[in-house]
Copies of this chain bind each other. A is one copy, B any other.
């Protein structure tokens, strides 16, 4: 009975923001009579690595497969395990194994949040990045030759497949078709990356034929990054390869004030596998343990998860509560330091959970 959710706090501030996210999730679920069954797991963390020498148990896939969704904090603790080992041994493996081929990352300037961009107001920044999440530049194919000599050469393969490219493009076009502006911007670099990116462009054009109502444009990633800063108001849906989507979905939230509030949904649209919800920020070793991490990214993830689980009203209610509290600004609400306030993780999460109950 109820939705089964696997909870994985992971490392660093993941352990602080996940409980905060759960508080808001519980408040929303009880308000809307949604029944949830939560199980917490300690793997995908440096602690687990230290005890077991792997990031996840051998049967992680069977374990997680039994859940409707994964509520994920952050993973990575380079003092203990190199990032590429911890990430390829956990998050990146989950994304692939569960074919979570869409990484959906909304980017919005919220009321009460100060943008580092001059004269930008809520409404000026409101787009969504649709990031390819299983292939592309993130591959583990390649290696070194002539190691340790002057001839040392390192190869790393980018792999794009028609299946992989087309399915994320279709999703992005569908998103664009549903939004009022009906505009899709494709990130490319076909002038410099001369094999994979022209292919990406071709597929974008081809898929466009099926969505005559969507206006589509492309920009090279260098120009596109510049435009995020100069004209963030011009974007609606942005579709990008794994690496370009990664960059744009950090840059976008930075333009919208802070990475601390940005959520992401790693989605398997066919629902053959569980989807995974994690904030865009990482484990943030520099502020971990201080109780000052912004919990809003994780709480917004709870909203996206509720939507995915079929509760759009509850999702909208929770997002509304986030907006209400942020809109009070740092003087009235216990906003965290990245939002120019003096609040703690716990205080901000509490304020949002209270607001969920009140509104």
- Which A residues form the contact surface with B (CB < 8 A)? 76, 82-84, 86-88, 92, 114-119, 137-138, 140-144, 149-163, 189-199, 221-223, 225-227, 229-230, 242-243, 246-247, 249-251, 253-255, 259, 282
* Contact flag A222-B249 (CB < 8 Å), given A190-B84, A254-B230, A255-B229: yes
A117 to B83, CA, bound (A): 32
- Copy total for this chain: 2
CB pair B142–A153 under 8 Å, yes or no, is no
Residue from the list B138, B222, B225 in contact with A192, Cβ < 8 A:
B138
Residue of B nearest to A188 (CB): B83
Residue of B nearest to A142 (CB): B195
* Contact flag A225-B199 (CB < 8 Å), given A83-B191, A193-B138: no
Min CB distance, A205 to chain B, in Å? Answer: 12
A208 to B38, CA, bound (A): 47
Q: Which residues of B contact A115 (CB under 8 A)?
A: 118
CB pair A222–B247 under 8 Å, yes or no, is yes
Residue from the list B76, B82, B199, B253 in contact with A226, Cβ < 8 A:
B253
CB pair B84–A198 under 8 Å, yes or no, is yes
Q: Which residues of B contact A255 (CB under 8 A)?
A: 229
